[in-house]
Amino acid sequence: MSTENLLVNYFSQYITLSEEEVEIIRKEDIIREYNKGDILLREGQIAKECFLILKGCVKRYYLEDGEEKIMEFYTENDPITPVSYSTKEPSKYYISCVEPSIVSTGTEERTQKFLQTFPRFVPIFVKIGDSITAKRQVSLDSFKNLPPEIRYQKLQENRPDLINRVPQYMIASYLGIQPESLSRIRKRIWDSK
């Protein structure tokens, strides 16, 4: 699939686009390509943009005593609205690329202009917002208090792709344990089958 089509494709999940709309989205489209390790948002920065991952994989993490504490991974078609983008306060976390990634960036002005031109897109934007909120709630509920081994199994069920495309030490960080522990958990699970 060509790069220009990725964003059109994203909207097509939610709504059927006319020829004219497809054209305008393509023109409006601001797409950037990043390399592995590139940083989309730094701690202390105020986010001017929100993101939509069209291709690749991105992580959101805190830095504590030089250690990455990964809070979330985002992959194809995941939208990211940094807290800092909403609050206009300095970000407490980083966002950076785990893989080479293609990202569509949104600004407030551009979104407003776009929604004025195409009011019928308003409900879709709301829906996307809701789904972000719901997703956050779910991941909080499902991770609180559960032992790491269960968390890993839930991850296997819910996001099997992640386990294959992300280095294990990052998965470990995401689960809140050391890489060695994840290794043992995997061994335990394997042995018990």
Residues that bind its own copies (CB under 8 A): 69, 144-145, 176
CB of 135 to DNA, least distance (A): 25
Rounded Cα distance, 189 and 17, in Å: 46
Question: Which stretch, 1-9, 47-55, 103-111, 182-190, contacts DNA (CB under 7 A)?
Answer: 182-190
Rounded to 10 deg, the angle between the 122-143 and 108-117 helix axes is 130
Question: Which stretch, 3-11, 89-97, 118-126, 173-181, contacts DNA (CB under 7 A)?
Answer: 173-181
Rounded Cα distance, 88 and 107, in Å: 13
**100 touches DNA by CB under 7 A:** no
Give which of DNA, its own copies, none residue 130 binds (C-beta under 5 to 8 Å, depending on kind): none
CA dihedral sign of residues 131, 132, 136, 137: negative
Rounded Cα distance, 25 and 147, in Å: 45
**182 touches DNA by CB under 7 A:** yes
| Closer Cβ to DNA, 97 or 177, answer by number | 177
| Closer Cβ to DNA, 90 or 167, answer by number | 167
CB of 93 to DNA, least distance (A): 20
Helices within 38-118 (DSSP H only): 83-87, 108-117
19 three-class SS: helix
Site residues, DNA (CB under 7 A)? 147-149, 167-169, 176-188
